[in-house]
Structure 1
Amino acid sequence: MINSRRGFLGLASTLPLIPLAQAVGAESDSRSPLATENLGPRKTHPIILSTYSLWRFRNEEFRDFDRCLDVADEMGFDGVELLLYQLDQNELLSHSKLMSYKRRALSLGLPLIGMSTHQGFVTPDPELRKQNIDRTIGQIELAYQLGIPTMRVNTGRWGTSKDFDALMANRGVEPPLDGYTDEDGFPWVIDALEQCVAVAEKCGIVLGLENHWGLGLTPEGILRIIDAVDSPWLQITADTGNFLEDPYERLDKIAARSILVQAKTYYGGGQWYSLDLDYQRIGQILQKHDYRGFISLEFEGMEDYRTAIPKSLELLRQAFPRVKTNATP
């Protein structure tokens, strides 16, 4: 009689291995659900819906995260990325409300994959940087509660543009504060993210620094920060629509370090700009770097979401086949 776990494991290691097909009696039966032609990796990358595609900072009806989950389910997405800004303060303070989202996503078979957050570390004010570090740590802990494995973070920016419209009119380029240069900002961002990464590792949340604006405007800026922090818990969220010049060459530079890809579409014309992106080409870039993860749709056009989002989903399913590789995970 085996009277210990160690004894059982020792005995198990001496038993002969039986092929799976033989074990279930499916040696040569092509009608078996385990027939080899049905095995292998799924055909496409999983495509998820960013709730930004619906709310867009203006559609108040889609502040309701439950409604966003329903749309993602009805349209056939494989999961959801939450834009944290759309939840109001009362929801953030209500643990039971947050957990209800987690329960509802489970009931729909829609995993909560990512959470997009906002913070700003590009400031000479150490107290303001500390406030943003604390804020980001709180967001990491929120992602942990929701079971979300990756969280988008930003460097922040100088704030010298009149507003976001002015920033977009200047193609995302923003001058530093008087008396400072971008070189002053990199150590601030690196130090802040090192503090955040320590918490992210404990929570099992991979931070994805996005090629957004500020010091994340270029691949070189993003990679400089990633390399300086030097942690597997800080990688890249690659946004296909945020490199306004040379998008393919720039995406190629960050693809190998990307943990999530946000894919923008612009049906009906973009709110600030439109890019005619070749998603077949982008898919090939990701394949070259053995990207194996999720694609998150960020619809940013002016067409009605009820027609534009299904078209976007079909576009991404065609552009991002999941190709079998021999790479080690």
Structure 2
Amino acid sequence: MPAPLSRREWIATTAATAITAGAAFTSQPAHAAGVDWQVQDAPPKAARRQPIGVSTYSFWQFKPDQKLSIEECIQKSSAYGFDGVEILHRQMTDETSAGLRSIKQVALREGIPLIGLSTHQTFVSPKPEVRTKNIEHTIHCLELAHDLGIPTIRVNTGTWGTRKNFDDLMAHKGIEEVLEGYTVDQGFEWVIDAFGECARAAEKLGVVMGLENHWGLGRTAEGVLRVIDAVKSPWLEATVDTGNFLEEQYTQFEKLLPHAVLIQAKTYYGGGNWYTLDLDYARYAQLIKASGYRGFVSLEFEGKANASVAIPQSLAMLRAAFAG
């Protein structure tokens, strides 16, 4: 039997072991954001059920007779069996500390996480004061998300505003004329500069912005990627909506998947309010699984059917698609 170590020898041996272990840990490559969460030599990812959330927009849809409170939407979402809730910012009626606490308490009691905050802004304006106002609004939404414990907000490029209204924009498949006297490149410059400023606030607050394929300069995957690639910040990624690509929808969807932090899944039971798309969710599920995305898919019901029937029907359809 070897002689027992002296106290001094034991301390020296322990310190050497700790240094060796520390060197092995710090030798892992750093992620672009500062930390590599993909641990080397980790076991294969276990199969698990795709987490499916729902946007409170699904209950609300800007319809006067459907304007439930955020708390009521959370309770209904929990009862239907969703895994998370995405909040539509325009649906919020109380942004005070007390109002935010109310939302958090209901979510806690229902055992359902708040997964996203869907916001609206436009940076496609030649007026600096308009862009500044929208930057301030976006930072305010980032602060709300931080206070609610929400990890990501949906953001938009905005539109040129050359159509009469949103109905007219949809009638033209989201295509609009460039504002007279300006160019598309100028529009992208305004958007990129604005998101560069917002990204600094997002980093401080720890909330990722997800730029959605949502009309305007973000109508196509190419437009969304042009902004993301130019800003070059891990705090600006993509919110990918299955219902907002009106051409080559699966090809465009796949292009954005590497940047996805939230996926929104449209359904149109009863016929769509502006249009109806025939979406193959079994195919979407295959694309999502192949990409390695393991985050939330958030339902956005946008049909004319009764929401109390169509929302659980949509959930059952999505569950089946991802189980297939």
Q: How does 1:131-146 map to 2 (within 5 A)?
A: 131-146=133-148
Q: 2-side partners of 1:49 and 1:62: how far apart? A: 16
Partner of 2:311: 309
What letter matches 1:43 in structure 2?
A: R
1:44 equivalent among 49, 55, 73: 49
Q: In structure 2, what is the Cα distance between the partners aligned to 1:175 and 1:232? A: 32
Q: Structure 1's 191 and 42: CA in aligned 2 closer, same or farther, altered over 3 A?
A: same
Equivalent residue letter for 1:159: G
* Aligned-partner residue type, residue 115 of structure 1: L
Counterpart residue identity of residue 82, structure 2: F
What does the per-residue CA deviation read over 1:261-288, in whole Å, with 9 as the maximum and x for residues that have no partner? 0000001100000000000111111122
Other-structure match for 1:20: none
Q: Which residue of 2 aligns with 1:36?
A: none
1:66 is aligned to 2:67? no
Separation (CA, whole Å) in 1 of partners of 2:192 and 2:114:
28
Q: Which residue of 1 aligns with 2:4?
A: none
- The question of whether the paired residues in 2 share the 8 Å contact of 1:206 and 1:234 is answered with yes
Give 2:28's aligned residue: none
1:110 corresponds, among 103, 108, 112, to: 112
1:185 aligns with 2:187: yes
Give matches, 1:1-329, under 5 Å: 41=46, 43-88=48-93, 91-92=94-95, 94-321=96-323
After superposition, give the CA deviation of every residue in 1:92-141 in whole Å (9 maximum; x if it has no partner): 2x211111111110111010010000000000001110010011001101
Q: Using the alignment, how far apart are the partners of 1:150 and 1:42 within structure 2?
A: 24
Alpha-carbon distance in structure 2 between the residues aligned to 1:137 and 1:253: 28
The answer to whether the 8 Å contact 1:156/1:215 transfers is yes
Displacement after TM superposition at 1:191 (Å): 0.4
- Tell me the amino acid that sits aligned with residue 203 of structure 1: L
Query: Matched residues in 2 for 1:101 and 1:59: separation?
Result: 22
Distance 2:300 2:282 in 1: 17
Q: Deviations over 1:53-94 (max 9, x none)?
A: 000011454341111011101100001000000113xx12x2
RMSD, aligned CA: 2.1
Alpha-carbon deviation of 1:10? 6.5
TM-score by length of 1: 0.84
> Is the contact made by 1:158 and 1:177 (CA closer than 8 Å) also made in structure 2?
yes
CA positional deviation for 1:298: 0.2
Displacement, 1:12?
10
Task: Give the AA of the match of 1:73.
Answer: S
Unaligned runs of 5+ in 2: 1-10, 20-44
- 1:227, distance to aligned residue in structure 2 (A): 0.4
Residue type at the aligned position of 2:74: L
Normalised by the length of structure 2, the TM-score is 0.85
Rounded to whole Å, the distance in 2 between the matches of 1:148 and 1:176 is 35
Question: Counterpart of 2:72 in 1: which secondary structure?
Answer: helix
For 1:297, what is the secondary structure of its paired residue? strand
Contact 2:75 2:106 in 1 (8 A): no
Distance 2:16 2:321 in 1: 49
Query: How many angstroms apart in 2 are the aligned matches of 1:271 and 1:217?
Result: 19
Tell me the CA shift for residue 228 of structure 1.
Answer: 0.4
Q: Compared with structure 1, are the counterparts of its residues 11 and 113 closer, same or farther at alpha carbon in structure 2 (3 Å cutoff)?
A: farther
Q: Which runs of 5+ in 1 are unaligned?
A: 1-5, 15-39, 323-329
Give the deviation of 1:185 after TM superposition.
0.3
Secondary structure of the corresponding residue to residue 320 of structure 1: helix
C-alpha separation between the residues in 2 aligned to 1:131 and 1:201?
A: 20
Give the distance between the partners of 2:99 and 2:282, measured in 1 at CA: 40
Percent identity of equivalent pairs: 53
Q: Which residue of 2 aligns with 1:31?
A: none
Whole-Å Cα distance in 2 between the matches of residues 149 and 163 of structure 1?
32
